[in-house]
Each structure stands twice: as C-alpha cells, then as structure tokens.
Chain A
Amino acid sequence: QQQVKQSPQSLIVQKGGISIINCAYENTAFDYFPWYQQFPGKGPALLIAIRPDVSEKKEGRFTISFNKSAKQFSLHIMDSQPGDSATYFCAASIGTSGSRLTFGEGTQLTVNP
C-alpha cells in the first residue's frame, strides 16, 4: 500500500523558474515530513524537513508548505538552477526523524539553462 503519493513524476523548468512538487499522505500518525534530493549514482540526501505543527518552513531557495487538514505537503524550489536537476523524494515517518521512512515515488527534475 502506497502511503505517500508524489506528483509529478517528472518536471522540466527553466532556469530561474519555480519548481513545485506535491505529496499526499494517508497515515495521520505521520509526524515528520522530509524531502530528499538524489543525484545519479548517489544516495538520497536530506534537503529540508517539517513537522505538522508549522505550515511552512523555508531554507534558502527551498520551502516546504504543509496542509495538515488536506494531508498534503509540497516542495517549492525558487530560482531553480541547473544544479538542482536531480530526483526529489518526499517522505514521512512516525515519531522521530530517525525512524523508518515511507517514501513517495520520486520526481525527476530537470532545470534547463
């Protein structure tokens, strides 16, 4: 059972544009929502994370928006750069950030120069 659904599967954005990736979850027990960035040949790396007591978290060009009632969260990448081209995964876990992660299907982002 896929508990975290991610869209779109792929995304092409022009340099300087905004990239938006959406995720929806089913399990209301989830209380930690990280986003991971993965480059080819590398493991996923934590980009930014949020807990459901806040609706938005911003770190540099990356922002997570969280809607607890809709059970949805999204990643916004402002001023997208070619170096942001990677696969992005949303995830969710229960309890702590060190718990088992349930991942979305992934979004392959391409930022054209």
Chain B
Amino acid sequence: DSGVTQTPKHLITATGQRVTLRCSPRSGDLSVYWYQQSLDQGLQFLIQYYNGEERAKGNILERFSAQQFPDLHSELNLSSLELGDSALYFCASSTLGGEAFFGQGTRLTVV
C-alpha cells in the first residue's frame, strides 16, 4: 500500500458528462501529481500541485481541471467527456524532491 488513496476505483459515465476524481496524498506529502494512462498514449503527466498551488502543467486538456485543497487532498475534474477520455487516472504524491508514490488509480470508462 503506497499510502495514496484514490476514489472511486471505477467510474462509468456517458459522453458529455462531468466527473470528479479524488486523491488523498500520503501523510506529510505536499506535492500531488495527476497522470493519465491510456493504451495509445501510455503514462502522461497532467498536472502537479504543491501545497495548494499549481506547480507544473503537462498536456492537460482545457476540459480538465484540478485543485488541491487546504487539507492537501486533490480533485481532478473532467468535463464534456469524450470516448477518448476513457483511461486510468493516477494520482501520486511526494515530498518536495522526494520519491513519487502512486495510488491504485481510477478507471474511467466513457460510454
């Protein structure tokens, strides 16, 4: 168990809908990262937050947004969902400069 908790584990939703994925980082970790894992794109970095502030941004679509709350948990919001958004979404957390620990992921299926 990495100590990073992601909910829900599975999510099935229809095209055009909006979903929210939640991540609780390991105790003491201030950095949270979101990654998307799909068959055709592999593991892609989406966005990083550090202590509530956006720190780095990858190839995150404009339909996607994230935030980190004062209690350090993070949420990834995906809107206007398309079939191609079906993927595994991973959250990872770390101390600044420390190893990144990954959660078990949320499997999103858009139908």
A-side residues, CB < 8 A to B, are 36, 41-46, 49, 89, 96-106
Verify B96–A98 contact, CB threshold 8 A. yes
Verify A43–B90 contact, CB threshold 8 A. yes
Smallest Cβ-Cβ distance to A43: which chain B residue: B102
In the complex, what residues of B have CB within 8 A of residue A103's CB? 42-44
Contacting A at CB under 8 A, from B50-72, are: 56, 58
Verify A101–B100 contact, CB threshold 8 A. yes
In the complex, what residues of B have CB within 8 A of residue A99's CB? 56
If A99-B56, A100-B58, A105-B42 touch, does A44 touch B102 (CB 8 Å cutoff)?
yes
Docked Cα-Cα span, A97 to B101, in Å, equals 11
Docked Cα-Cα span, A41 to B10, in Å, equals 11
Docked Cα-Cα span, A49 to B58, in Å, equals 22
Verify B98–A44 contact, CB threshold 8 A. no
Smallest Cβ-Cβ distance to B30: which chain A residue: A98
9 more CB-based (< 8 A) A-B contacts, given A97-B99, A100-B45, A101-B100: A42-B104, A43-B92, A46-B100, A96-B98, A98-B94, A98-B96, A98-B98, A98-B100, A100-B33
Docked Cα-Cα span, A96 to B99, in Å, equals 9
Verify B31–A98 contact, CB threshold 8 A. yes
In the complex, what residues of A have CB within 8 A of residue B99's CB? 46, 49, 97-98
Docked Cα-Cα span, A106 to B39, in Å, equals 10
In the complex, what residues of A have CB within 8 A of residue B45's CB? 100-102
Verify B43–A41 contact, CB threshold 8 A. no
Question: Which 9 pairs across A and B sit closest by C-beta, in order of nearness?
Answer: A43-B102, A96-B97, A98-B94, A103-B43, A100-B45, A98-B97, A105-B42, A98-B98, A44-B102
In the complex, what residues of B have CB within 8 A of residue A104's CB? 42
